[in-house]
């Protein structure tokens, strides 16, 4: 990985810190006016928004397209092509299973991964490769920290999920609007 640091994040540990200047806003959804999305619906939306955030975070803009790399097999992947289409063969893959809600939307635990590796065709090899490359990316202590957190129980609240959705969408919108980054000398997080 040549781009191992999430852009414009003040704290890469949590999605909730992606944009300090973001104010929670009402998310749009296709439900009846006045009805609130259910918790499972919010989980689904958080998964989708966070997946896009991770795939874009781990990609570099080059030659008019976004190119990333699989955390496990290190294969280069076109994440978004020149026409703006997201490649369905690129996933956001979890090191600790996403069944562990405490790490389901954790910045360190979720990384770009090719669909083949994410399908766990060879689970032992995939996890061994994932761990080795994750150690190179975030450090062995951070990986051990993830493994220790995996046993913690956590039930996300509506507010947490809404914040994940809002922040992830803001990151994606901002990054796509500024594919080559902010002009030099620009400071601060302005989404």
3-state secondary structure of 62: strand
Q: Going residue by residue from 41 to 80, which x/- string records binding to Zn ion, judged by CB under 5 A?
A: -----------------------------x-xx-------
The nearest distance, CB 70 to Zn ion, in angstroms, is 3
Query: Site for Zn ion (CB under 5 A): how many residues?
Result: 5
Please give the angle made by the CA atoms of 113, 117 and 118, to the nearest 5 degrees.
65
- Nearest residue to 1 via CA among 69, 89, 48: 69
Nearest to Zn ion of 111, 166 (CB atom): 111
Backbone torsions φ then ψ of 111, nearest 5 degrees? -145, 160
Nearest to Zn ion of 117, 161 (CB atom): 117
The nearest distance, CB 75 to Zn ion, in angstroms, is 5
Residues 53 and 44 sit within 8 Å (Cβ to Cβ): no
Sign of the torsion formed by the C-alpha atoms of 8, 138, 71 and 166: negative
Determine the interface stretch with Zn ion among 89-97, 111-119, 150-158, 171-179 (rule: CB under 5 A).
111-119
Among 43, 117, 146, 170, binds Zn ion (CB under 5 A): 117
Question: Rounded CA gap, 70 and 51, in Å?
Answer: 14
Cα Rg of the chain, angstroms: 17
Determine the interface stretch with Zn ion among 12-20, 45-53, 112-120, 157-165 (rule: CB under 5 A).
112-120
The nearest distance, CB 116 to Zn ion, in angstroms, is 6
Q: Which residues bind Zn ion (CB under 5 A)?
A: 70, 72-73, 114, 117
């Amino acid at each position: 990985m040549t781009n191992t640091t999430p852009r414009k994040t003040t704290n890469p540990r949590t999605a909730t810190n992606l944009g300090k200047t973001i104010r929670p806003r009402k998310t749009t959804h296709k439900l009846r006016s006045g009805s609130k999305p259910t918790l499972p619906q919010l989980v689904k939306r958080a998964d989708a928004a966070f997946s896009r955030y991770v795939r874009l975070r781990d990609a570099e803009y080059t030659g008019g397209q976004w190119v990333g790399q699989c955390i496990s097999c290190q294969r280069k992947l076109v994440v978004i092509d020149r026409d703006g289409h997201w490649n369905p063969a690129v996933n956001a893959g979890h090191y600790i299973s996403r069944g562990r809600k405490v790490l389901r939307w954790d910045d360190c635990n979720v990384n770009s991964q090719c669909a083949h590796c994410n399908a766990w065709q060879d689970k032992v090899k995939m996890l061994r490769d994932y761990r080795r490359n994750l150690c190179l990316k975030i450090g062995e202590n951070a990986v051990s920290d993830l493994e220790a957190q995996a046993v913690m129980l956590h039930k996300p609240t509506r507010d947490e999920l809404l914040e994940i959705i809002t922040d992830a969408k803001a990151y994606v919108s901002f990054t796509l609007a500024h594919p080559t980054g902010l002009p030099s000398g620009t400071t601060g997080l302005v989404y």
